[in-house]
Structure 1
């Protein structure tokens, strides 16, 4: 019998140990529920991390049966109050096709453009966070100052177009979506952070959290005035391969999801 190929070095070699497993689905409805549950879990994680800023911030996951539609959090509902029953389903033109709430216009412009231009991208996250917004004002990519930052080495970019301008016009989305043909994370100058995943909302949400933390770490280093020792390119690429994959992002998210379930019994209502 062939030995199953390991997706990461973190998968146990011993049998019968408890370890998160990616589910297999027997129907679109089953997969849809999973994606929606984890979208809600991502919103609750954003709430715990205090990523709220008024009505700003939007997370999306593509519908498995209707890939031209995506599920997203409702407009002007705090991340801590997003649940299964108030999610909305929208098309690429910003029309709500299922749900009672309005859509965030800026969320439509940015996310719809990325989802439409890149059919393989399943999920996307954006929020107005403290450290990501502060670092975005520098107009610089992050340096590989740590193993955590190395996860984004050569896999993120700075977007200068429409920087600082509220993204409510359709053309703004097109300029942002071009970046995600190559990268999974972007620093939109004078705006903030965006992440996308071809794997899951789990991965997009965790890598958003990781990117925010990397911005915080970089700002702390710069404030110290001490020049950091950077991870060499070959070692940064090695770390990115082993701790920066889509699967690892999914795996990292699972403790956050379990925590959200335990602390928020209303989230799947």
Structure 2
């Protein structure tokens, strides 16, 4: 990297001639669309490997790059462990399938569509009924800055109490949840579970979800010891968040995981 180039991360090397991952640049809309579908399929496979899958309760979405009012999502009833890029369905804001042959999770999509519609800057969203996420959501409070991982969410997490514990099937209820999301990149929906969003990529949204689930697990285990938690000072937590909470860092963290899944599951990009 040249001395004049601006770094996107403190992890970028100063030394010239070294490979360092960077987000792709697309020459056509079709190329970008295929990329998003493939990454969406990869996220599904990864969520299944991480045991985030719980029956049909889990869904990921990404905007179509040409038609921002349409979203690609995983098909209802198909295991995330076998989803391919070609299986993705294209859905509008009201849940009508405009491309594909599988149904959409209507209850789940009410929340996702509202989040996207209420926040035009959001490119992708992830939700799953994970063990640690659901356990922490039952407490109805934000995570504390007790680790570097948790500091990545300092000032960037929302606790949503609207429609807590209810199966959201009405669009009005979906928008109540979406409005409470605000500028956060993750949300803890009380008595329900975790949500994450990406404002630049599906990679980013997937990493925030993975990291949030891990942070919930860590705090649950730490509190289970019965010892007082040692919190990171607010100014230090904010400093860590400044470096860890950027869209590029979310994208960057996801790359080794994608590298792993594309080698173990090459069929996902059929």
Q: TM-score range by the shorter chain?
A: over 0.9
Instruction: Give the stretch that moved more between structures: 185-194 or 7-16.
Output: 7-16
For residues 143-178 of structure 1, the C-alpha deviation after alignment (integer angstroms, 9 at most, x for no partner) is: 000111000011101111111101122122101111
Paired with 2:40 and 2:189, the residues of 1 have a C-alpha distance of 23
Paired with 1:94 and 1:148, the residues of 2 have a C-alpha distance of 35
Under a length normalisation based on structure 2, what TM-score does the superposition of the two structures give? 0.97
2:118 alignment partner in structure 1:
117
Runs of 4+ off more than 3 Å: none
1:263 alignment partner in structure 2:
264
Secondary structure at the counterpart of residue 266 of structure 1: helix
Shift of 1:26: 1.0
1:180–1:196: 8 Å Cα contact kept in structure 2? no
2:160–2:181: 8 Å Cα contact kept in structure 1? no
Unpaired runs of at least 5, structure 1: none
Aligned residues: 269
2:50 alignment partner in structure 1:
49
Paired with 1:15 and 1:79, the residues of 2 have a C-alpha distance of 40
Paired with 2:171 and 2:103, the residues of 1 have a C-alpha distance of 18
Secondary structure at the counterpart of residue 238 of structure 1: helix
Counterpart mapping for 1:3-82 below 5 A? 3-82=4-83
For residues 83-105 of structure 1, the C-alpha deviation after alignment (integer angstroms, 9 at most, x for no partner) is: 11110000001000001100011
2:133 alignment partner in structure 1:
132
Shift of 1:5: 0.7
Instruction: Give the stretch that moved more between structures: 88-97 or 34-43.
Output: 34-43
Secondary structure at the counterpart of residue 62 of structure 2: strand
Paired with 2:60 and 2:173, the residues of 1 have a C-alpha distance of 18
Give yes or no for the alignment of 1:167 onto 2:172: no
2:144 alignment partner in structure 1:
143
CA RMSD of aligned residues (A): 1.1
Paired with 1:12 and 1:80, the residues of 2 have a C-alpha distance of 36
1:52–1:127: 8 Å Cα contact kept in structure 2? yes
Paired with 2:150 and 2:246, the residues of 1 have a C-alpha distance of 13
Paired with 1:173 and 1:14, the residues of 2 have a C-alpha distance of 48
Unpaired runs of at least 5, structure 2: none
2:106 alignment partner in structure 1:
105
2:187–2:194: 8 Å Cα contact kept in structure 1? yes
